[in-house]
Amino acid sequence: MHTFSLNHIALSVKDVNVSIAFYQSVLQLEEIENTASDSPTRWLSLGSGQQLHLIPRPELEVKVNKAVHFALNTPDMDAFVAHLVALDVHYTDWLDTPNRDYIRKDGIKQVYFQDPDGYWVEVNDAV
């Protein structure tokens, strides 16, 4: 049987500088060196060797829906939601109720928000 762990998530973005600023502000991710190439693709650390790669594609039309998202967890959802509010980042529950978190059947609390290109990001308290 094969075993896997997450290495990176790659997103095509219209303006890599805007996306870097967003993810550094909202998720407080640290930019790390793109060791793969000399391209304008920029990398952010998700911790534990995992990365978010932001690939500039200024002409790309991004089509998104909430079912296509990536999820991160945090041990302090209340502090994270307060952080979103302080940054004036619009968030919803799964059903698109504005400024509301959602508690799943398994007791996990979650919120969703979109990045500058419209990609959905879930943050939950599954630890």
Average pLDDT per 10 consecutive residues for the chain, totaling 127 residues: 91 97 98 96 97 96 92 96 98 96 95 97 94
Give pLDDT, residue 31: 98
Domains of the chain: 8-56 (3.10.180.10), 69-124 (3.10.180.10)
Give pLDDT, residue 1: 87
β-pair partners for 120 = 69, 114
What is each CA distance from 96 to 65, 75, 93, in whole angstroms? 12, 23, 5
Give pLDDT, residue 71: 96
Give pLDDT, residue 42: 98
